[in-house]
Amino acid sequence: MFLQYKQEVSKYTKKDAMIALIYFIYACAVTFVFAFLATLPDMPLGDTALHIMSTVFVVVPLFCIIILRKQGLESIGLHTHNLWPALRIGFIFSAIILMMNAILPWFFEGWDFLPFSQIMLFLFMAVTVSLVEDTLFTGFIQTRIYGLIKNDVAAVLVTATLFALSHIPSHVADSGISGFTVIVSFSMVFWIIMHCIWNLIFRRYFSLFPIMMTHIVWNFGNIGIFDQVGGHWISTYNLYVFMFAVVIWLIISYRKNRKVTMKL
């Protein structure tokens, strides 16, 4: 566990963890309500407006809680300390994701670009989804959950499971499928793995910026640029390549960090 991450998460108490868990329930309820409203035939507001409102209803109260408890935005990884190294690794991982998820499949399949307006809409959606999910789960719940769960691996796995479960309300509201169907799907495993990977990146610089960058590119690069005709075998290996790159980078970073610590 990198030093700054360890110091930050050790600050929180059971009260902080309970607040985070209660807010998780609130955020899921907000997601379900707005996803359900989007399915109503006579709803005057469009999907984009409802998505903006849902984002505001989740993010703004969260920031208010952080400020009122005098914890500061730095406590969720929104700071400028080590900004360039954090952005640099975000750019590197984003380039890997974009290459595997979009550029190489486009090169081999000859996909056509989507209309510009549609690309901008997908980009907007990717940015706002990242803002909500990364701030709530990686920055807020993950750090506060240590007030209740002291074991590092258990704390990450519990938050990863919550992150996966948070996708159920929108799927149930949108398609009417049962929550159990979502739980037993492979998507649950994928979401758990993704949170674990983002947490590994987050703890290096205790920064949300590289997480948001990779999350945006992952969501946007997959569906937001090209008019895809089916999938492509290259994109199916995106997760494995991404995981391998993160593990190699962490090993190198840990060795460098250890050498610096030993010199001190």
Q: What is the pLDDT of residue 252?
A: 87
Q: What is the pLDDT of residues 218-235, one digit of tens each?
A: 988 767 788 766 666 777
Residue 65 sits at φ, ψ, to 5 deg, of -60, -45
Looking at residue 229, what is its pLDDT?
63
Q: Is the dihedral of CA 153, 262, 257, 75 positive or negative?
A: positive
Task: Give every residue of the chain whose pLDDT is below 50, as ranges.
Answer: none
pLDDT tens-digit map of 37-69: 888 888 788 888 999 999 999 999 999 999 999
Is 221:122 a contact under the CB 8 Å cutoff?
no
Q: How many whole angstroms separate alpha carbon 239 and alpha carbon 98? A: 12
| Cα distance between residue 14 and residue 148, in whole Å | 5
Q: Which residues pair with 113 in a beta bridge?
A: 226
Amino acid present at 142: Q
pLDDT at 67: 94
Spatial neighbors of 96 by CB under 8 A, at least 6 apart, are: 241, 242, 245
Q: What is the pLDDT, as a whole number, of residue 186?
A: 73
Supply the pLDDT for residue 253.
Answer: 84
**pLDDT of amino acid 41:** 84
Residue 236: what pLDDT?
A: 79
The whole-number pLDDT of residue 176 equals 63
